[in-house]
Amino acid sequence: MHKHNKPSHNKKYYDKKIYFKDLGIHNLKPNIINYLKKKNIHKTKNNHFILSNKGIYILKNKTLKKYNYISTILNETNYLIELNHFLKFEQNCTQIPFEHHYLNIQEISFNINDFILTFEIIDNKINDFYIKSNNSLNILDILMIKEISYIKKLLI
């Protein structure tokens, strides 16, 4: 029998992200998100952040929590960059820093084979896009290169 534990706020959440170095937002098909919604399963999530020069603040369960953003490059080719990133919990807080900026990012994710193609939308515009993966392959493996090439063809 498996024990299901609630995730702790002290745990580090890793997400492997893959970016196309040779493909920018301006290269995407017009109305790419609507095009993909017709063909793929998707989900939408809103992320609310309070940004300051002291860290990233997120309100969770009526508690304000401070995080630091940690990012490391895993692999890099001429066309792709693969990195791990996570928000590292620092402390619970009692007030929002005086100098801050509120940011709402709408995340639209599409399941494509074993990958998740994610678009981050700010003010109704695509601000970022990348592929998420938690499998053991990396961008140097032929199998992953083929899968990512398929996703790239969907985008342009």
**Measured distance CA(117)–CA(110) in Å, rounded:** 5
Task: Convert the pLDDT of each residue in 107-148 to its tens digit.
Answer: 999 998 888 999 999 999 999 999 998 777 788 788 888 888
Q: What pLDDT is recorded for position 108?
A: 96
Phi, psi of 106 (to 5 degrees): -90, 125
Query: Which sequence spans correspond to the domains of the chain?
Result: 21-29+37-155
% of the chain beyond a pLDDT of 70: 91
Mean model confidence pLDDT for the chain = 87
Mean pLDDT of 15-28: 90
Q: What pLDDT is recorded for position 28?
A: 92
Q: Which residues fall within 8 angstroms of residue 132, CB to CB, at 6 or more apart?
A: 15, 16, 17, 18, 109, 115, 116, 117, 118
pLDDT reading at 5 higher than 50: no
Task: Please name the residue that has the structure tokens 């492997």.
Answer: 16
* Reported confidence tier of residue 10, pLDDT bands at 50, 70, 90: very low
Q: Is the pTM of this model over 0.75?
A: yes
> How far, rounded to the nearest angstrom, does the alpha carbon of residue 27 sit from its chain's CA centroid?
20
